[in-house]
Structure 1
Amino acid sequence: MLQVRTGPDQVWDIDYRPGGSTTVNGQVFEWDLASLGNGQYHILHNGQSFAAELISVDYPSKTFVLKLNGQRLELQAKDRFDLLLDKLGMSNTTASKVNELKAPMPGLIVDIRVEPGQVVQKGDPLLVLEAMKMENILKAPGEGTISAIKVTLRDNVTKGQVLVLFS
């Protein structure tokens, strides 16, 4: 059993068994998945065809970035052990409290995905920093509430510059 989140209000309970049936929120989910290689997949569901591409995977945080028919989608998964820790109230024991996020390298801020007052968890995307023509998603190093964003869109930043403050 997996719980997959694509946003604050979009959560799906998925039970996937290779060779068996797949259910999503308790309903049978019939689909055909074909790997095309190099992170490319073809999916058939309810007579519709979907092109999927796996952009990035962070196994320790169980975060995945996909493109589904060209649309970018970020997924956060929790397995049965993560859910059990949540249920027992132990999920926060490993979360670290942070005070600030600093730029890991010089670059250009091309996207800001949070706002002051927003509560974030470890691994949540905060900013996108372009450096050497590559986009780097800067994620929350721990749980906290955004108290201030010290940069604006299109700002050039230096390594070590404070970008986000947490309370």
Structure 2
Amino acid sequence: MFQISTAPDQVWEVDYRATDAITLNGQPLAWDVADLGEGRFHVLYEGRSYNAEVVEIDYATKNIVLKLNGQRVVMQAKDRFDLLLERLGMSNAAVAKVNELKAPMPGLIVDIRVTPGQTVQKGDPLMVLEAMKMENILKAPADGTVSTLKVNLRDNVQKGQVLVQFS
């Protein structure tokens, strides 16, 4: 289950399971999605047609930027752990010092934009991971200094593999 928001007053509960349909706020989501490739999709929902494009996904902060019919939409996702921490008043616990960046999914390193010793700020691009025919810019999860690069250009990586270590 995820909670997706586009503004403080626009929040949706999205539940998906491999064997069941997707639900939106507890109701089955009746939609038709066609993958057009390279992060582009055509969606039919409630008799309306939408062109959707994935512009950016930041796995560390769970922020997603889409273009829906040419209009930019920024979404924030919270999983059950984020919601639990929030309920316990510990939502800032995830802001703790980050010592490494791990691959969010398996893929191929197609660009490395930092070197050991380089100081980075949260959100700075570190490298580009190609996965499922899409290029994903992996960004610094926090301010820090790159101590070690654990991968090289054109390396295949697995989900959870350490890519960069910070000091």
The two structures have a TM-score, normalised by structure 1, of 0.55
For 1:61 and 1:71, the matched residues in 2 are separated by: 22
For 2:31 and 2:57, the matched residues in 1 are separated by: 22
- Report what 1:74 is aligned to: 74
Please tell me whether residue 95 in structure 1 is matched to residue 105 in structure 2. no
Q: CA deviation at 1:89?
A: 1.7
For 2:2 and 2:47, the matched residues in 1 are separated by: 25
Aligned-pair identity (%): 53
SS at match of 1:86: helix
Please tell me whether residue 8 in structure 1 is matched to residue 12 in structure 2. no
SS at match of 1:60: coil
For 2:94 and 2:20, the matched residues in 1 are separated by: 34
1:127-147, Cα deviation, whole Å (9 max, x unpaired): xxxxxxxxxxxxxx79xxxxx
For 2:18 and 2:69, the matched residues in 1 are separated by: 24
SS at match of 1:21: coil
Alignment of 1:106-121 (within 5 A): none
- Report what 1:25 is aligned to: 25
Q: Post-superposition, which runs of at least 4 consecutive aligned residues in structure 1 deviate over 4 A?
A: none
Unaligned runs of 5+ in 2: 97-119, 123-141, 144-167
Q: CA deviation at 1:50?
A: 0.8
SS at match of 1:17: coil
- Report what 2:40 is aligned to: 40
For 2:19 and 2:37, the matched residues in 1 are separated by: 20
RMSD, aligned CA: 2.3
For 1:48 and 1:15, the matched residues in 2 are separated by: 22
Q: Which moved more, 1:10-19 or 1:71-80?
A: 10-19
For 1:84 and 1:57, the matched residues in 2 are separated by: 23
Q: CA deviation at 1:71?
A: 0.8
Q: CA deviation at 1:19?
A: 4.5
For 1:4 and 1:18, the matched residues in 2 are separated by: 19
The two structures have a TM-score, normalised by structure 2, of 0.55
For 2:85 and 2:34, the matched residues in 1 are separated by: 34
Q: CA deviation at 1:24?
A: 1.1
